Structure 1
Amino acid sequence: MAFDVIIQPSGQQLEVEDDETVLEAALRQGFAFPYGCRNGACGSCKGRVLAGEVDHGPKKPPGITEAELADGWALFCQAAPVDDLEIEVREIGAAKDIVVKTLPCRVAQLNRLADDVMELRLQLPATERMQFLAGQYLDVLLKGGGRRSYSLANAPHDDEQLVLHVRNLEGGRFSKMVFEEMQSKALLRIEGPLGTFFVDEESERPRLFVGGGTGFGPLKGMLDHLAVEGFDRPHHLFWGARSAEGIYAPDWLGRMSAEHGEHFRFTPVLSDVPADTAGGFPAVAGWPHDAVLAEYPDLSGFDVYMAGPPAMIEAATNAFLAAGLPTEQLYYDSFEPAAPHE
């Protein structure tokens, strides 16, 4: 049995088969809904159910709270219709014409950015290009099954190679390969671009960027893109790391500050080993969301872009919404690690 779903505010309609989630049906029919992990962890696909009922399965997904469920919110990557629906979701018009491809590529360069971070540069065949939006990610398809998701750390205008920032995770199947076995010219297969984490360029509000660890990667891509387009408002980057060594892009930070200082600020935030400076900039001790609120206690007039581990995203989301940030002005990508056995 199929169910009809009316999408607000556009008023468009889609049909969901009885073995599909709302997101699966939307993507199949060409609607660009927001999504990230697609496994219920990140919350990117969250929207409201205005009429009808959905089923999230036997266990509540981690990306939504009981209070949000009671208030009519749903995770459309997990929600299956129980009857016909009317929903409210932010459609991503800019992604509609981008084609997701599965492509071979070769490792062009492996550059150590920090003790536990490797820059992986991938070269596509000469006849191929991957069109993407700054902030999107791709999946590396592993031999024997499984995939690993990595955000693109370069901007669309600089797409001769695809750039990933790979953290060396304990027990990580792919990261161990990158750090211990991989050589230049190694052959990989990738799928992308994926995700709907990218800049709302129609907004006129100032922008705050909040990254944790390698969550800096997609934010760097966004800022590189905006810099080429021409900064026309304040942009403030907060980058959280355990110690000063975790701020692994000092040259890029220095160049951005020198070339765009009127519209670009940077604040390193160190949690475990505070230092006076990091990346050549005065550092703040603590957590990224606290550093943001110390500078901007009222967030109602900002757009906020976040990328990093789930714990950081959750803490920052709660704090920022309490500080007046409207939900629709918050964009994030939660870096959910793969299970070790996958």
Structure 2
Amino acid sequence: MNELLSLSRAARLAGVTRAEIQKRIRHGEMQTFEGQVAISDLLRVYPSVSLEKSGDLERVEQIKADALPRSHDEDTRLPSQDVLITRIKALAEALVQRVARVEDLEQLLDEIRDRLDEMSCKSREADATDASPNETPQDLSVWLQARRAALAETAVEAAQTQLLAKDSFLRIMSASVKMIPSGHEFFVDGNESILEAAVRSGLRLNYGCASGNCGECKARLITGEVYRLREHDYVLSEREKQMGYLLTCSHTAVTDLQLEAAEAHSPADLPEQEIQAHIRKLEPQDEGLMLVHVQTPRTNTLRFMAGQRARLRLTDGPEQELPIASCPCNGRNLLFSVRRGDDAFSKAVFETLSARQSVTLTGPYGDFVLAEDATEPAVFIALGDGIAPVKSLIEHAVSIDSIEAFHLYWSVPALQMHYHQPWCRALRDTLDNFAYTPLVDAACDDLLALLESDLEDLKTARYYVAGPSSAIEAVAEVLSRAGVASERIATERLD
């Protein structure tokens, strides 16, 4: 009984990142079969698989706590969360044994058929020669009894039982969605909609209002079962209904799904949007830096790619184009960094701007984006306020979970200017594959020496460099001299 698992499911079952599974595959420790891995391979590399060790039990308990389960039968009362989870785990283990038993019985039926065919053939040969048949029905009965006894003593290996039971358990709590034609995969947890899960996972599906009014999140269901979470005003045509179209903002996944939907793959695929938003919070970092938190309406979030910019226009007229310093997985809450200067925009931010004030948001702009198909190590080099777009890139990279390893180098003119230091340290402490090196006024040669010391091979990594133009050009030149191909260096000039 050796099932195949998608890379996302294998990673979730083993309690590791998908990037870790991909690294094992590249190093020849695991084999893939049409993009999937065998359970035997997963158990060989990760011999001890436990629901409790992976932290999934706590995650499931949180999902259950956030959900509001309602019985279709008012006379039926749901048990407590702990009791329900325990019962589901027991049923999952029993299901694995039943499935294994059915497979064994199907194999036995095939053997009986082959044996009967052989007996029939030998019987015809015996009739033609007046000889006695080699095997009698009594012999078949004896053989069948022996095979049944042997199958009764055969059990699924303990490790496979545990892994398959865990997979069955998690399938109840989380459904997998595979997108066509991109092949991207994500999980729908709890009562969240398909669209919410896709955005959270870093996918860029088309959507507008996210509340069932515009129909832009329309997708076609290929396989699987969905459940409508809420009614929607947008009306699907009878033809669309027959073809399996649905609104991803209004449905959740009941079983694993295959969905056909368009995704944005490059900045050119995203339309320019204009949104009336408001200032949610102003967060001074020092006398010269303000973090501006902008919130869009629930029905009109900004679709953008990590690393892109947006233009903020204040109610009294001044405007400025700024890098978005937050993850596209939450297009409603956006973060910007504003330096104090002599221009009208920064003066307004530091002197007159206040929370709840309206602001016009336009964008996205720019092509400083992540190479999402690249799984090799990524090096992020932020120079000064270049941390803003780099922060967005890193948060998106973490959400899509496909890069083997990250390393952030952040150089600032003075030590106290590492204003995102808590965020950097939190990532370093949380992620096994994330390294952070704070620097102060680092020279290019010193930076190159650090890279050569930290990386196994400079030429195989991808580099994302953001900061002032003169500093960016110097870093890019140093990397080129070290043999890094230009297509592996992405830059964002903030001047």
The residue type equivalent to 1:133 in the other structure is M
Identity of aligned residues (%): 25
The equivalent residue for 2:436 is: 266
1:163-242 equivalences under 5 Å are: 163-169=335-341, 171-230=342-401, 232-242=403-413
Aligned mate of 2:472, from 300, 313, 316: 313
Whole-Å separation in 1 of the counterparts to 2:372 and 2:327: 14
1:43-54 equivalences under 5 Å are: none
The equivalent residue for 2:285 is: 113
Whole-Å separation in 1 of the counterparts to 2:436 and 2:367: 25
The equivalent residue for 1:334 is: 493
User: Deviation at 1:98?
Assistant: 1.4
Aligned mate of 1:248, from 419, 427, 444: 419
Residues 166, 214 of structure 1: 8 Å contact kept: no
The residue type equivalent to 1:190 in the other structure is L
Q: Does 1:153 align with 2:350?
A: no
The residue type equivalent to 2:479 in the other structure is F
SS of the residue aligned with 1:127? coil
Q: Does 1:304 align with 2:463?
A: yes
The residue type equivalent to 2:291 in the other structure is E
The residue type equivalent to 2:415 in the other structure is A
User: Deviation at 1:168?
Assistant: 1.5
Residues 119, 166 of structure 1: 8 Å contact kept: yes
Residues 231, 263 of structure 1: 8 Å contact kept: no
Residues 107, 188 of structure 1: 8 Å contact kept: yes
The residue type equivalent to 2:438 in the other structure is P
Whole-Å separation in 2 of the counterparts to 1:143 and 1:189: 8
Q: Does 1:292 align with 2:462?
A: no
Whole-Å separation in 1 of the counterparts to 2:383 and 2:427: 19
Whole-Å separation in 2 of the counterparts to 1:291 and 1:104: 45
Aligned mate of 2:300, from 128, 140, 159: 128
TM-score normalised over the length of structure 1: 0.63
Whole-Å separation in 1 of the counterparts to 2:328 and 2:363: 13
Residues 318, 344 of structure 2: 8 Å contact kept: no
Residues 113, 249 of structure 1: 8 Å contact kept: no
Higher strand share: 1
Whole-Å separation in 2 of the counterparts to 1:197 and 1:109: 26
**Divergent runs of 4+, >6 A:** 143-146
Q: Which deviations, in whole Å up to 9, do the C-alpha atoms of 1:222-247 show, x marking residues without a partner?
A: 11111122264121111111111100
Residues 406, 433 of structure 2: 8 Å contact kept: yes
Q: 1:146 to 1:118 in 2, by over 3 A?
A: closer
In structure 2, the gaps of 5 or more residues are: 1-263
The residue type equivalent to 1:323 in the other structure is A
Q: Which deviations, in whole Å up to 9, do the C-alpha atoms of 1:163-209 show, x marking residues without a partner?
A: 1111112x122111111221111222121011111100111321110
SS of the residue aligned with 1:157? helix
Q: 1:301 to 1:292 in 2, by over 3 A?
A: farther
User: Deviation at 1:291?
Assistant: 3.9
Q: Quick check: which has more Rg, 1 or 2?
A: 2
Whole-Å separation in 1 of the counterparts to 2:356 and 2:315: 17
SS of the residue aligned with 1:300? helix
In structure 1, the gaps of 5 or more residues are: 1-91, 272-285, 337-342
User: Deviation at 1:144?
Assistant: 7.9
User: Deviation at 1:138?
Assistant: 0.4
1:52-131 equivalences under 5 Å are: 93-131=265-303
Residues 239, 269 of structure 1: 8 Å contact kept: yes
The count of aligned residue pairs is 228
TM-score normalised over the length of structure 2: 0.44
SS of the residue aligned with 2:476? helix
Residues 310, 364 of structure 2: 8 Å contact kept: yes
The residue type equivalent to 2:435 in the other structure is R
The residue type equivalent to 1:240 in the other structure is S
Residues 397, 403 of structure 2: 8 Å contact kept: no
Q: Which of the pair has the greater relative contact order for Cα pairs under 8 Å at 6+ separation? A: 1
RMSD over equivalenced CA pairs, Å: 2.0
Residues 239, 267 of structure 1: 8 Å contact kept: yes
Residues 205, 303 of structure 1: 8 Å contact kept: yes
The residue type equivalent to 1:166 in the other structure is V
The residue type equivalent to 2:273 in the other structure is K
User: Deviation at 1:141?
Assistant: 3.2
Residues 241, 270 of structure 1: 8 Å contact kept: yes
Whole-Å separation in 2 of the counterparts to 1:93 and 1:156: 14
Q: Which deviations, in whole Å up to 9, do the C-alpha atoms of 1:1-41 show, x marking residues without a partner?
A: xxxxxxxxxxxxxxxxxxxxxxxxxxxxxxxxxxxxxxxxx
